[in-house]
Chains A and B, each alone.
Chain A
Amino acid sequence: MPTTTTSAASSSSSTASASGNNSNRQADVFSRLASSDPEVKLKALREVKNQIIGNRTKKLSFLKLGAVPAIASALADADDSEKCNNILVQSAAALGSFACGFEAGVQAVLDAGVFPRLLRLLTNPDEKVVDAGARSLRMIFQSNQAPKYDFLQEKNMEFLFSLLNSENENVSGLGASIIAHACGTSVEQRVLCEAGVLEKLVILLDGSLSQREACLESLATVLKNNPEAVSDFVGLESGRYLNSVTELTKDRYPRTRLLSCLCLVVIYNTSPSYFVNMGTKSGLITTLLELLNDPGQSGDDAALGLSCLIAGKEDLQKLAYEANAIKNIVDILKTDSELQTKRLQGLFLSLAELCSKLEDCRCSFVSLQVLDLLINALRHKDADVKAAACICLRNASRSVKNLSAGRFNSDHVMLPLVQLLHDPSSSVQVAVLGALSNIVLDFSSPKSSFIEFGGIKQLIELSKSMDPNARCSALRALRNLMFLADNKRKELYISDVNAQGFACLISDPEPPVQEQALALLRNLVDGCISSIEFVFDEDGLILDTVGRQLRKGPQAHMAIQGMYVLTNVASGTELHKEAVMQQLFPQATGSENFMLKFLQSDESQLRSATVWTIINLISPSSPGAYDRHVKLRSAGIIPQLKNMVNDACLDVKIRIKTVLGQSMSFGDNY
């Protein structure tokens, strides 16, 4: 593309209002753009184009003055005769430049209605015009605002293939770009594959740099999450092109290395069986780690690419850890304080994935003093960075060893987290609740910075949020906070929540919220025996609500927590045990006892929790145990347990043996 650089094409931050001379010149350019004299118009087009190339500030300034519609008019007015070719080229180039990496520019170009005109340039007899049109359109298709391309329409598919078949590298590259950015669904992927797009794309792998890169991007889009498409691709010439892509991870151009890595990440995530070779996996990780140091967009994309690759895969996380990933990332974070938002987000997400399953990672993470980096990131202005830092903290704090050592229980860590509970972004709120859920589990000391910063009140508020995820997360954090809590800590919660309010949580419309509320209650009634009294407030409202929920036939996970509430209450005094019996055998109902249903559940944890309740109810040391045993036997519960002596789960089997042993002591035979 012909370009000339002039002294006007600077990266200074001068604006249209900066000097009178500047604005005069710009106003003058506009009148010249509208000139009927083609030479004058051409010169004006070149002037604008040269000023805005690589200069975002100039782009914005010209945009505000209405340059895009003016240039669009110039393009529209030019006919396809040879003498207008230069105008076509320069106006297309200028529009392309506006659209290049500048979303407002893309919007303006599309709003000016010039898109169809640009498409028509592709059939112009002059190669330079075709080039300029293709480049311009490629810029537009780099943006999320690019028009939807309906691959399902036959004529669109024909047009696309005509682009891919073109010998002009910009045109074939455009075809690939359209696919890369517009193909979104598995239906579109299938239609493209059936039309033979893979065979067309792989030819571009052997083409120019620009074609190769466009091909790699579009391959990744067509193959993503589509095992059939991946199988088709790998099958092409018996794996030749998979090998080619793998080889390209060693290419001398960083962007090529990155795009080939991202393509392999897509293939691996879709069909990991094609990567039996450990060397390929290691090579992929090593290349991505190296690319993290690339100062440009490749580095940004490499960070996110790495996090996508290792997400959920312990074996790859281990490989990355052994390749010194954590230290590499931490070094980048420590030495470069001006990292782009996208790269920061990617780096923190990569660290988060590294720590997601491996204890060694979490420990080295802590020893490399990464906490300070994370705490700083919690104060970043960008929500994505804050959320990524919170996710990283959440995963690092999965280490019971580090929680036990009190590594997170300091004002320095806790204060910014508590402050983020008020963040306007819901993704940040969810992420910080996740981190806090773990961090409040502090085994190291009864003193909690979180409580001192008023965290309990905030969680109580969030447990009443309109958003069920927030309610669930807040209750989970409270549950963890109340794990093995002493009465003093429990009182801080109970004093602010009345029985009515708590009963509402247990009856929340969302089962996961119910589950967490019951798990919290389970912890509240554990520990000192006096803490059981909470369920009897307001005439036993809470205990009644638990019983009512259990009788409704809830999901297993909620039922497990509910039964452990009853187990814990039943480990108390005679009065407590009798109160549990009233919930198990309420007078009004004649329906099948829910305990029988739970004992027949497929979930062994539920069977186990139910048996524990029974064990506590007929614990021989309590005076009313015999009478309760009689009742349980006549309700068919003891006989049901006799049928379960060979339960598949060892723990359930052992607990049943305990019950039947107690039963024998009451004179029962089994």
Chain B
Amino acid sequence: MPVRVVESSTPAQVSGTDPGNRSQLPPSSLLGAGQAFSGTQNVSNQQKEEAWRVNVQIQGIDLEHGYLCGTMEALNVPMADTPVITFWEGEIVDGKNYTFYTGKWEATREDDMRHWSKFPSFSPLQGQVESDGGRQLDLNNYPYIFMRWKEQYFVNVGTDCGLTIAGFYYVCFSCSDGSISGFYYDPNSSPFQKLELKTVNEGRSGFSFSSYELQ
């Protein structure tokens, strides 16, 4: 019988009377469906300094397959009249479904190492990743989660909006405080555009959690 879970991972059969098996707890309760983050993306280039305000929301997470997804909303985008929302899908580097090596999206191993090494939390892992791809690492017990986020489509604007979603983000999530940093990689865009986000508490004095259950 399929596994029944509280968050949005592998869904289950209808039986309300049989709890069955539940999936493992996410590495961080702050990286769960419904969690919102807010911050900026630095889109500076040689001509000028610029930063867009960004809101991110996680919509689903499936640890068994190393998958998560959500939306990203970019505000004060010069070319757009309204905030631009995209839908993205993520790969969690868990050593089982995905490794630190991207293997696609025009990112070479060198590109990968160049980006991951920009996260201070990656340094303890760097040696092993360089030597054997990080096969021996116990990432499930590391207080940072590494991911790649790839935007898939625009939700509220057309593809002719003058913006590109050709690249992807290397992302590091801190389990302890839910902060996120990332670097956008696109061979045709300015390099190392930095994404910095923090959890959002919507005016509350503490953390609040919503949940859904897929059948």
Contact = CB atoms under 8 A, between A and B. Distances in A.
Interface string B175-215: 11000000000000000000000000111111111111111
A479 B212 contact: yes
A519 B204 contact: no
A651 interface: yes
Contact of B204 (A473, A476, A515, A529): A529
Interface in B8-35: 8, 10-11, 14-17, 19, 22, 25-29, 33-34
A172 interface: no
Contacts of B143: 650, 654
Contacts of A561: 6
A405 B206 contact: no
A605 B25 contact: yes
Interface in A510-540: 510-513, 515-516, 519, 522-523, 525-529
B3 to A, nearest CB: 10
B177 to A, nearest CB: 8
Contact of B215 (A359, A394, A555, A571): A394
Contacts of B19: 512, 555, 557
A443 B14 CA distance: 22
A472 interface: yes
B72 to A, nearest CB: 12
Contacts of A651: 25-29, 175
Interface centre among A400, A513, A527, A605, by most B CB within 10 Å? A400
Given A522-B209, A567-B209, A438 B214 contact: yes
B163 interface: no
B209 A513 contact: no
B204 A572 contact: yes
Contact of A441 (B16, B175, B214): B214
Contact of A612 (B34, B65, B207): B207
Interface centre among A359, A525, A654, by most B CB within 10 Å? A654
A398 B4 CA distance: 12
A600 interface: no
A571 B201 contact: yes
B127 interface: no
B69 interface: yes
B87 A404 contact: yes
Given A479-B213, A483-B212, A622 B25 contact: no
Interface bin, chain A: 35 or more
B168 to A, nearest CB: 16
Nearest to B155: A444
B215 A529 contact: no
Contacts of B16: 468-469, 472-473, 476, 510, 512-513, 515-516
A573 B204 CA distance: 8
A526 B141 CA distance: 29
A356 interface: yes
Contacts of A608: 25, 29
B2 interface: yes
B121 to A, nearest CB: 14
A605 B201 CA distance: 21
B14 A430 contact: yes
Contacts of A430: 14
Nearest to A611: B29
A479 B33 CA distance: 14
Contacts of A469: 14-17
B89 interface: yes
Nearest to B34: A484
Contacts of B153: 405
A649 B25 contact: yes
Nearest to B58: A400
A619 interface: yes
A405 to B, nearest CB: 7
Contacts of B26: 651
A49 interface: no
A98 interface: no
A434 B204 contact: no
A357 B176 contact: no
B14 A473 contact: yes
B1 interface: yes
A555 B214 CA distance: 21
Contact of B60 (A400, A434, A572): A400
Interface string A437-449: 1100101100000
A401 B20 CA distance: 26
Contact of B205 (A401, A403, A480, A573): A573
A109 B205 CA distance: 77
A619 B205 contact: yes
Contacts of A472: 16-17
Interface centre among A404, A473, A480, by most B CB within 10 Å? A404
B71 interface: yes
A621 interface: yes
Interface string B47-63: 00000000000011000
Interface of A: 312, 356-357, 359, 394, 397-398, 400-401, 403-405, 430, 433-435, 437-438, 441, 443-444, 468-469, 472-473, 476, 479-480, 483-484, 510-513, 515-516, 519, 522-523, 525-529, 555, 557, 560-561, 564, 567-568, 570-573, 577, 604-605, 608, 612, 615-616, 619, 621-622, 649-651, 654-655, 657-658
Given A434-B14, A522-B210, A529-B202, 4 more contacts: A469-B16, A484-B34, A572-B204, A605-B22
11 contacts: A401-B87, A437-B213, A473-B16, A476-B213, A567-B206, A568-B208, A571-B207, A571-B208, A572-B206, A616-B205, A619-B205
